């Protein structure tokens, strides 16, 4: 989710709808236009030329302009503009170019979308330039009284009206500040337009809107001729309805592949993050990377080593994707790799940072499944596979994929956190010595204090040069010059306590485990706020003991009970994080730090939170952050990952290095790099990947500068934004004197001729000044220690540390005892470390995999096989896939037993309970409890009686005589209403089905023989529906071939026949409940006249 460009057609339609609500009736915009797509080439489509002309009759008598609508700049200079044409001429012009490739400023792409709109004749003096752009603290309106293609440097020429966040503007301000060079008679109307435009800009969450030229004709009408706009896609939940069906096209020169659409569709249906951008489908180097920040680091490193033209894709799979999602993602990558052969073979780098909570082994299970599916193609295309992964269960994951490679004969090399994140890249490219693979049975925490990662070879990646023209700002920026005002930086310590908003039990347990191994006296979490349940307590572990944490429904109540809290860790979703944070500001006298974990927070809401927080003196970390950590003192949320990674990175005690990073996933990697290259982390913060983080690099770095315990500072920035320039200014003016090692990821962006959106919402340059290459060059020029690539950052950091140790600036302390790490039983069992007998055993279903299974069959296969209710029941009750006639018989039984009117005891009870105002479940249960020997519960008994007698060779006559002699009723025989002359149609249906479908009807024939004898004595002693079903069911089980005789008899003993009656009759009982509710029947009271009141007299009376 991020800021995305929209088509000119859609941008103008949005303006027309919204501006016309704000402007006086006589000043409404006339923005007629038609979007023409390749569908016009298909006469059977829904968007033919005839349909376009039919929907826009003005085309018949209006001169028009035609132009591509694909985010192409300078269309006029590229000859892609047809002006003052008839509709037929415009049509011919478009047809000549539709689906044809053209080159614009070295970018080649296919023309697929065109805009037709009325031609507006005007003079040069009628053209103006207007642009609105968002910055961290304000929105800026740029205006110039001369517009058009030759407007020149608008940064230098344009007048500016700066509108601080949460402020409003007036028409008078607009006229006074922007319109001085506009004729007086035009100023009022133009001011009203700009005011309405700005209001619309804010309301619809535009982040950039440029109109050039904006034409104002002599009659006062205003027409935006050319428009470029970007919208904050994350605001869809707020204004999606007002947007309508917006199209976010890919940059010109990069058509979207079917595989990209597939992954985008998967991404929209999952809580994980799945992204794929195909850069060069014939490329040699492919990546499959977990983590947004990590994915950029891998692309950068490939490009920095000179392989940018061979880099085939960019993307990520992260956020704990399921095994099936990993399989589909890997299958898509491998399918693309195997489309074209490369003479030198291909490389697949499966990488990622150190995961917080994703089970690496689980994701690799899906990957291995894909490797098996593509085994032959991988070998045929000479694909070398390099794996570097770390995080929960990574050793098992690496073992699994290494073992799969050996089994399949695939060339796979695996590495873990003993190498830094991108160390496999130069090895995979053949530029560095191949390091030995790790011992996957070793204890990873034993390396917690080991430093000095060996260099990956003598090859040095080329240094990226930045031309002077790269410093030119294409769009307006507030970067450079005076260091901007700073936000409050968070202060965390061993006594700091917090409240967690949201029922995030794993994160809370992780924080408390960190507290315990850091030897805190009390937990850092004081309470949880969860508005969707009443106040209660939740159990957590404190070491091996158990403690209770209170849960409140409101933050106000939590703060009233825990006044010592100074931190709020806010896990509210992107939909509610704004409101919950505003609520927290009411406690700004106590809450001094708020961490906003949610991704997808609209930029305008983030700006409002920043303003209020800075006004109140509250530090904000995030949005879109994993949090931060102060080694040995305090941990926010999931920062640092699981406990084994906390120990491996020595975060249980402070070191001498502090870092600030954009990426949360990369913060784990920095923990690892710093612990192996130096004496460890003192403090680290991930400020979040959005364009406007609550606190910035400079806020944290100044705090680090002022802390004598911190000796070295590390900054990890990225493409997009200008926050690094504040640090550069502080370094230049001497405000930062400590060694500062820094790198901005996203250097690969300059290798592409079109715009690429990287993993984070803010990872997109709005001008050359915001590119990673420009920022790295500027930092290096300012005296900041910038390596030639991220791959070299560990070596630079280690060199600085060793120099400071040698000079005595850093005095190394004895390493404390590595704390024992309590491990949850569930995780220990998953790792195969413990075992215990299960409390419950289940063999009929399994919900642990990606897909629910019934008796080993995935639910999708159950549905696609058309098993129906009867077949599903067979899987869950009998653990068999029954023949179709058996499944149909079960469904027949359910239908004929579904109801028998309101008079029977079960239905009557259900009705009475429903009329007493009880709920559905209570009413259903009251009816079910009447089922027994006298009502509906005779099926199992009838089956047992008829079967036993038949198996023993008794004749029906002998059986009847025996039952009479024992004075027992024959279950399944007799009916209160039905008789020989008034047969039960249900019995006839059951018998007829059995005769047509069952091979053997021994028990049914025996029961019919019994009926002949009993009905000769009394006409209503017929074989009733219970008896008929029971006899036929036994015959079905015994003759269908799915069961042995013993299994069939056992099922009868398990009361499955009564289960069928209960299941079927529940349908009717629920129907009676709904019927009574529908009829709004009052409380039932039995009538007096239907009760015999008998007065009992004492014998003495």
Q: Which residues are catalytic?
A: 760
| Token representation of residue 804 | 């400071």
Nearest residue to 939 via CA among 1059, 1041, 1080: 1059
C-alpha distances (whole Å) from 39 to each of 42, 44, 101, 109, 582 are 5, 9, 17, 18, 48
DSSP code of residue 877: I
Query: Within 10 Å of residue 1068's Cβ, how many Cβ atoms?
Result: 20
Q: At what angle do helices 956-965 and 939-951 cross, to 10 degrees?
A: 120
Helix (H) or strand (E) holding 948: helix 939-951
Query: Within 10 Å of residue 3's Cβ, how many Cβ atoms?
Result: 23
At 901 the three-state DSSP class reads coil
Q: Kindly write down the DSSP assignment for every residue of 234-265, as one continuous string.
A: GGHHHHHHHH-S---PPPTT-PPPHHHHHHHH
Sheet with strand 82-85: strands edge to edge = 34-36, 114-118, 64-68, 82-85
| Token representation of residue 795 | 């070596």
Instruction: State the residue for tokens 């930045």.
Output: 466
| Token representation of residue 751 | 């290798």
| Token representation of residue 862 | 């159950």
Q: Kindly write down the DSSP assignment for every residue of 683-742, as one continuous string.
A: EEEE--SSSS-SS-HHHHHHHHHT-TT--EEEEEEESSSSHHHHHHHHHHTTS--S-EEE
**Whole-number Å distance between alpha carbons of 435 and 1094:** 98
Q: At what angle do helices 360-373 and 323-337 cross, to 10 degrees?
A: 40
Nearest residue to 653 via CA among 417, 447, 523, 815: 815
Instruction: State the residue for tokens 């009376």.
Output: 1101
Provide Rg for the chain, Cα atoms: 37
Q: Is the peptide bond before 213 cis (omega within 30 degrees of 0)?
A: yes
Nearest residue to 653 via CA among 824, 812, 523, 795: 812
**Whole-number Å distance between alpha carbons of 115 and 466:** 37
Do 641 and 266 form a contact (C-beta atoms < 8 A)?
no
* CB-facing half-sphere around the CA of 897: CA atoms within 13 A: 31
Helix (H) or strand (E) holding 1080: none
Helix (H) or strand (E) holding 402: helix 394-408
**Whole-number Å distance between alpha carbons of 600 and 623:** 8
DSSP code of residue 771: S
The β-bridge partners of 163 are: 139
**Whole-number Å distance between alpha carbons of 67 and 82:** 6
φ/ψ of 1099, rounded to 5, equals: -65, -25
| Token representation of residue 1034 | 């036994």
**Whole-number Å distance between alpha carbons of 937 and 935:** 6
The β-bridge partners of 570 are: 501, 596
**Whole-number Å distance between alpha carbons of 708 and 810:** 11
Q: In this structure, are strands 627-630 and 619-621 parallel, antiparallel, or unpaired?
A: unpaired
Distance of CA 572 to the CA centre of its chain: 15
**Whole-number Å distance between alpha carbons of 902 and 602:** 57
């Amino acid at each position: 989710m991020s800021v995305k460009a929209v088509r000119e057609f859609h941008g103008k339609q949005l303006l027309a709808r919204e501006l016309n609500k704000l402007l006086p009736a006589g000043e409404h915009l006339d923005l007629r236009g038609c979007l023409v797509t390749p569908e016009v080439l298909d006469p059977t489509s829904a968007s033919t030329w005839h349909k376009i002309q039919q929907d826009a009759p003005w085309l018949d008598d209006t001169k028009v302009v035609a132009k591509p609508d694909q985010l192409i700049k300078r269309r006029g200079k590229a000859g892609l503009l047809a002006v003052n044409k008839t509709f037929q001429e415009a049509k011919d012009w478009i047809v000549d170019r539709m689906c044809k490739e053209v080159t614009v400023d070295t970018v080649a792409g296919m023309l697929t979308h065109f805009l037709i709109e009325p031609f507006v004749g005007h003079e040069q003096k009628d053209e103006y330039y207007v642009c609105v752009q968002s910055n961290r603290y304000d929105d800026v309106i740029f205006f110039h009284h001369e517009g058009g293609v030759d407007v020149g440097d608008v940064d230098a020429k344009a007048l500016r009206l700066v509108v601080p966040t949460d402020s409003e503007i007036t028409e008078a301000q607009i006229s006074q500040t922007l319109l001085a060079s506009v004729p007086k008679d035009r100023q009022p109307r133009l001011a009203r337009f700009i005011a309405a435009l700005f209001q619309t800009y804010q309301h619809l969450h535009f982040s950039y809107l440029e109109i050039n030229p904006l034409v104002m004709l002599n009659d006062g009408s205003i027409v935006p001729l050319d428009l470029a706009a970007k919208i904050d896609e994350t605001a869809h939940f707020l204004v999606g309805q007002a947007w309508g069906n917006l199209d976010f096209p890919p940059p010109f020169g990069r058509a979207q592949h079917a595989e990209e659409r597939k992954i985008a569709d998967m991404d929209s249906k999952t809580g994980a993050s799945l992204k794929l951008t195909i850069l060069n489908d014939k490329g040699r180097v492919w990546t499959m990377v977990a983590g947004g920040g990590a994915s950029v680091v891998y692309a950068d490193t490939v490009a920095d080593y000179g392989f940018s033209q061979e880099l085939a894709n960019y993307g990520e799979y992260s956020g704990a994707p399921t095994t099936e999602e990993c399989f589909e993602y890997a299958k898509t990558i491998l399918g693309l790799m195997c489309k074209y052969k490369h003479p030198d073979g291909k490389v697949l780098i499966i990488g990622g940072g150190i995961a917080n909570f994703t089970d690496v082994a689980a994701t690799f299970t899906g990957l291995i499944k894909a490797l098996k599916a593509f085994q032959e193609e991988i070998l045929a295309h000479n694909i070398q596979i390099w794996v570097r992964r770390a995080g929960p269960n990574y050793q098992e994951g690496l073992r699994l994929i290494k073992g799969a490679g050996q089994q399949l004969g695939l060339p796979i090399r695996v590495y873990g956190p003993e190498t830094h994140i991108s160390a496999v890249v130069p090895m995979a490219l053949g530029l560095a010595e191949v390091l030995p693979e790790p011992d996957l049975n070793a204890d990873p925490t034993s390396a917690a204090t080991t430093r000095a990662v060996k260099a990956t070879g003598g090859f040095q990646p080329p240094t990226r040069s930045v031309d002077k023209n790269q410093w030119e700002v294409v769009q307006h920026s507030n970067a450079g010059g005076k260091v901007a005002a700073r936000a409050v930086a968070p202060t965390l310590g061993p006594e700091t306590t917090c409240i967690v908003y949201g029922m995030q039990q794993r994160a809370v347990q992780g924080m408390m485990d960190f507290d315990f191994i850091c030897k805190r006296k009390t937990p850092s979490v004081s309470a949880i706020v969860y508005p969707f349940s009443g106040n209660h307590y939740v159990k957590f572990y404190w070491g091996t003991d158990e403690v209770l944490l209170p849960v409140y429904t409101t933050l106000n109540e939590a703060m009233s009970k825990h006044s010592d809290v100074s931190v709020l860790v806010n896990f509210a979703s992107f939909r509610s994080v704004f409101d919950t944070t505003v609520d927290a500001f009411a406690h700004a006298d106590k809450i001094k730090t708020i961490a906003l974990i949610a991704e997808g927070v609209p930029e305008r809401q983030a700006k409002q939170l920043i303003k209020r927080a800075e006004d109140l003196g509250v530090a904000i970390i995030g949005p879109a952050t994993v949090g931060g950590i102060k080694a040995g003192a305090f941990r926010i949320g999931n920062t640092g990952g699981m406990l084994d990674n906390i120990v491996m990175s020595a975060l249980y005690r402070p070191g001498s290095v502090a870092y600030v990073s954009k990426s949360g996933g990369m913060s784990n990697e920095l923990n690892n790099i710093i612990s192996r290259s130096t004496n460890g982390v003192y403090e680290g913060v991930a400020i979040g990947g959005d364009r406007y983080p609550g606190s910035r690099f400079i806020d944290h770095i100044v705090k680090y500068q002022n802390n004598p315990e911190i000796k070295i500072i590390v900054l990890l920035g990225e493409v997009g934004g200008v926050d690094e320039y504040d640090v550069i200014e502080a370094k230049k003016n001497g405000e930062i004197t400590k060694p500062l090692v820094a790198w901005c990821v996203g250097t690969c962006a300059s290798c592409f001729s079109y715009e690429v959106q990287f993993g984070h919402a803010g990872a997109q340059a709005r001008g050359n000044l915001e590119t990673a290459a420009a920022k790295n060059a500027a930092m290096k020029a300012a005296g900041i220690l910038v390596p030639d690539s991220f791959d070299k950052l560990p070596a630079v950091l280690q060199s600085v540390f060793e120099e400071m140790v040698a000079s005595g600036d850093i005095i190394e302390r004895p390493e404390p005892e590595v704390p024992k790490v309590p491990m949850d039983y569930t995780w220990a069992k998953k790792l195969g470390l413990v075992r215990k007998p299960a409390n419950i055993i289940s063999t009929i279903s399994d919900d642990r995999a990606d897909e629910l299974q019934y008796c080993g069959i995935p639910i999708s296969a159950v549905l696609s096989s058309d098993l129906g209710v009867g077949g599903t029941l067979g899987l869950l009750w009998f653990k068999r896939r029954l023949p179709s006639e058996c499944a149909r018989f079960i469904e027949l039984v359910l239908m004929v037993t579904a109801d028998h009117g309101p008079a029977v005891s079960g239905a009557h009870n259900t009705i009475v309970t429903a009329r007493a105002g009880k709920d559905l479940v209570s009413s259903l249960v009251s009816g079910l409890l009447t089922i027994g020997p006298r009502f509906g519960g005779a099926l199992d008994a009838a089956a047992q009686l008829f079967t036993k007698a038949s198996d023993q060779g008794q004749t029906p006559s002998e059986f009847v005589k025996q039952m009479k002699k024992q004075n027992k009723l024959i279950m399944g025989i007799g009916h209160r209403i039905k008789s020989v002359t008034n047969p039960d149609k249900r019995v006839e249906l059951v018998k007829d089905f059995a005769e047509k479908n069952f091979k053997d009807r021994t028990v049914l024939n025996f029961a019919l023989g019994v009926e002949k004898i009993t009905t000769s004595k009394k006409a209503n002693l017929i074989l009733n529906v219970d008896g008929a079903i029971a006899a036929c069911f036994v015959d079905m089980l015994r003759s269908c071939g799915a069961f042995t005789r013993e299994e069939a008899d056992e099922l009868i003993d398990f009361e499955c026949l009564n289960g069928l009656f209960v299941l079927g009759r529940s349908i009717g009982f629920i129907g009676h409940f709904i019927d009574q509710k529908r009829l709004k029947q009052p409380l039932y009271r039995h009538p007096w006249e239907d009760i015999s009141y008998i007065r009992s007299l004492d014998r003495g009376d």
